[in-house]
Structure 1
Amino acid sequence: MIYCEAEKTIETDRLRLRLFRESDAKDVSTMCNNYNIYKSTLNLPYPYPIDSALSWIANHEENFNQDRMYELAVTDKNSGKLFGAIAISNQKQHRNGEMAYWIGEEHWGKGYGTEAAKAMLEFVFKEKKYHRVYARYFKSNPASGEIMKKCGMTYEGTLKDHVYKNDSYEDIVYYGIVNPLQR
């Protein structure tokens, strides 16, 4: 992982994580206007119009600059093609944050989510000195949990029937990791 503070980018072997731009809004709207993504996310609206993408993107740079949240586009390192998004909140008082991500369905199964998640964890542990990161997923979306496991996160518990979505209750599964650099 290579972090460039001036550009607010994180690079991996295949990816560049960068701030979203207004010009990404159309691609974000297209990828997120997908029932398969909507059904496995907590707060994503459906349908997902371009105005939702624009309002979501509007505060990313300020959030980053103020160390409130790091919301980055997951893109191809060479072509710049958008694959999805990854974010980690900053709960400064507790030196931890929650990680969340989505990858466009046409890019599933290629390891982009795992590669982006590992890079974000390294970023917040090395650069932002977080003590801990946690993440959660709907039990009905085990692929998200596999990303967490591949990043070294461990199972912390399940909240039974915690969310009511699409006329049914969903279990929420929590994973977490303590900064390995602080042990």
Structure 2
Amino acid sequence: MTYNPATQTIKTSRLILRLFTTEDALRVAELCNNDNIYKNTLYLPFPYKMDDALSWIRLHSHHFNENKKYEFAITDRISGELYGAIALSNNHHFNHGELAYWVGEEYWGTGYGTEAAKAVIDFAFQEKQYQKVFARCFVSNPASGRVLEKIGMKKEGILRQHVKKENEYIDLVCYGILSHEAAPSS
């Protein structure tokens, strides 16, 4: 993982994580307007429209510059193709943050989510000096849990019936990693 503060980008072997631009809105809307993405995320609306993407993207630069949240587009290092999104919140009071991500369904199983998540964990600990990063996923989404385990997170517990989605209460699986547990990417 290589972070460039001047361009606010993170490079990995296959990816560039960069800030979203309004030019990404159409592709974001295409990728997010997917029932399988919607079912596995806490906050995405469905159907997902261009206006949803634009209103979401407009806040990113401000959040990043104010050190509130770091929201990156997951893109191909060579072609620039947009694969998904990954975000890291910043809780200054506790010196930790939450990792959240989605990857377009056509890119599931490629390892892009794992590679991006590992890079953002490195960013959190090396650049932002966090003590801990945590993440949550639906108990019905074991693939996301596997991604979190691959990047070194440990399952910390289950929040029973913690969120309501489509009139159903859903369990959330909680994962976390402490700064001293993280092995930096090569």
Hey, what does 1:113 align to over in structure 2? 113
Q: Is the 8 A contact 1:133 1:178 kept in 2?
A: yes
Hey, what does 2:179 align to over in structure 1? 179
Does the residue aligned with 1:164 lie in a helix, a strand or coil?
Answer: strand
Please state how far the C-alpha of 1:159 moved relative to its aligned partner: 1.1
Q: Is the 8 A contact 1:86 1:101 kept in 2?
A: yes
1:9-88 alignment to 2 at 5 Å? Answer: 9-88=9-88
Hey, what does 1:135 align to over in structure 2? 135
Structure 1 stretches of at least 4 aligned residues deviating more than 3 Å after TM superposition: none
TM-score (norm 1): 0.97
Alpha-carbon distance between aligned partners in 2 of 1:174 and 1:164, rounded to the nearest angstrom = 16
Please state how far the C-alpha of 1:168 moved relative to its aligned partner: 2.3
TM-score (norm 2): 0.96
Instruction: Please tell me the root mean square deviation across aligned C-alpha atoms, in Å.
Output: 1.1
Please state how far the C-alpha of 1:180 moved relative to its aligned partner: 1.9
Q: Is the 8 A contact 2:96 2:132 kept in 1?
A: yes
In structure 1, runs of 5+ residues without a counterpart are none
Does the residue aligned with 1:124 lie in a helix, a strand or coil?
Answer: helix
Q: Is the 8 A contact 2:152 2:181 kept in 1?
A: no
Identity of aligned residues (%): 55
Does the residue aligned with 1:158 lie in a helix, a strand or coil?
Answer: strand
Does the residue aligned with 1:126 lie in a helix, a strand or coil?
Answer: helix
Please state how far the C-alpha of 1:93 moved relative to its aligned partner: 1.1
Higher mean alpha-carbon deviation, 123-132 vs 158-167, is at 158-167
